[in-house]
Amino acid sequence: MSAQARKSPLRSASRTTARPALRAIPTEPDQSEVRAAFLSDYATHLRASNNKHGRPYQEKTVTAYTKAVRALDSWMTEQGMDEDFLSVGTATLNLFFRAYHQEHEQGGTNTVQRNLRTFFTWLEDEYDTANPYRDKKLQRYAAPTGVKPKTLSAEFVVDLLKVTGNGHPRVREFEKVRDHAIIRVLTEGVRAEELLSLRLDSLDLEQGLAQVVPLKDARASGEGRVIPLQPKTVIALTRYIRARESHKLSGSEWLWLGTRNRSKLTYSGLYRMLNRRAKDAGYDAASPHQFRHTWTDDMLSAGVAGEDVMTLAGWKDSTMLRRYAADMATSRAVKAAKKMGDRY
């Protein structure tokens, strides 16, 4: 099916990153090698440090932060700039952000500007150099306003489940059975990191429950969240665990095993799987996090109290509930009003 003919998945309308080896300092480096050395040291610093909440940086955060530095490095190379990162000042950053904005618009520029802040703070601490982020002349790119989360359509979720075997007992291909179970668990509102962190002992299928690894603020206190599973999710997990026994690395503690005898499914692997299955079903790509938005709408549409939704989702601030619920708020309000029928 061509890209133009694919349907929208929205309701409204790999490998683990390898740790770098110790770098060899070139005897006569050019500036590109010098900037690459800065980036290597910075990545090592992130992996050995804690964030402002006192927790280790997740690998996807390290990837995002270093990707922003690589974008700046690439732009400097295109502009023929020979200086290293220590020479980058406010004027240079302003030119970079303006050029980046032309290709990536407001949201992308806000993200790369935010992700570069930590890099220049590190340079300031390590090399006692001026931090352009402290300069009032640095042009700020605010996050785009009015952007609402996108909720997946019921048709998209159903079609995704169909192309992964629809839970039929005669479908026994490991990858299909695994992908079907993953999609089922995503419909339970878990974060992508929580799903990937599940172990075999995280499940209590007799009770229809799963306990996710603590994330965010709960990590420090050692708390976890108990997730109630739909009956079909329990069945899908039971069949996956049975298929998992034939995997070469079935002795691994991790629930989700990779293909080609990889011991654990990675974040990038999860994205690739979803994109591939969406394409198989005739849709554009969707992200794992959109299932969490969809779950929120499902809960609220079913009449589940906001406080209960917050508890199940692991939110301590109602701001998150409002943000995740915003996408379909009008639709839910109209349906609720129509259920009242004639009021007079």
Distances (CA, A) of 235 to 162, 164, 169, 245, 332: 15, 14, 10, 16, 30
CA distance 88 to 120: 9
* The pLDDT of residue 269: 92
- pTM, rounded to two decimals: 0.66
Number of helices followed by number of strands (H, E) in the chain:
13, 3
Q: What are the tens digits of pLDDT across the range 87-113?
A: 999 999 999 999 999 988 888 899 999
* The pLDDT of residue 219: 46
C-alpha 280, offset from chain centre: 22
* The pLDDT of residue 215: 54
Q: What are the tens digits of pLDDT across the range 168-186?
A: 999 999 999 999 999 999 9
- Please list, in sequence order, all residues whose beta carbon lies within 8 angstroms of the beta carbon of residue 61, skipping any fewer than 6 positions away: 46, 51
Token pair 């980058």 in the structure block, residue? 88
CA distance 133 to 137: 9
Strand pairing partners for 152? 10
Q: How many residues does the chain have?
A: 344
Burial 185-224 (b: 16+ CB within 10 A, else e): bbbbbbbbbbbbbbeeebbeeeeeebbbbbbeeeeeeeeb
C-alpha 200, offset from chain centre: 22
Element housing 204 (H / E) = strand 203-204
Element housing 330 (H / E) = helix 329-339
* The pLDDT of residue 145: 72
Tens of pLDDT along the chain (344 residues) come to 555 567 878 876 544 444 444 454 455 556 668 899 999 999 999 999 998 878 898 888 899 999 999 999 999 999 999 889 999 999 999 999 999 999 888 888 999 999 999 999 999 999 999 999 999 999 999 887 766 668 999 999 999 999 999 999 999 999 999 999 999 999 999 999 899 999 999 999 999 999 997 654 444 444 678 999 999 999 999 999 999 999 999 999 999 999 877 778 988 899 999 999 999 999 988 999 999 999 999 999 999 999 999 999 988 888 888 888 888 888 888 888 888 888 78
* The pLDDT of residue 54: 85
